[in-house]
Amino acid sequence: LARGIQHTAVRQAHRKYEPNFHDKYGNLVLLGGAAAFTAVWGYVFTQAGIEWGLSPVGRIAPKEWRE
């Protein structure tokens, strides 16, 4: 069994290397995803009306207790 596996590994090592999808388009897909991510979050942060006051002091008022 080990000799058969070794023989298969040697045969595949000598085979001509063919670039697969990731070799051809991997960086392109990565850059496209990064661009889409940046565009979507850039839109969300600039257009969603988020107020960037990170301190809650003065914004949060306690509710009146109901008796």
Residue 39 CA from chain centroid, whole number:
13
Domain 1-48 has CATH 2.60.40: no
In the structure, what pLDDT confidence band is assigned to residue 45 with cuts at 50, 70 and 90? Answer: confident
Q: Write down the mean pLDDT value for the chain.
A: 78
* Spatial contact of 53 and 59, defined as CB atoms under 8 Å apart: yes
In the chain, % of residues over pLDDT 90: 31
Kindly list the domain boundaries of the chain, sorted by start residue: 1-48
DSSP secondary structure letters along 22-40:
HHHHHHHHHHHHHHHHHHH
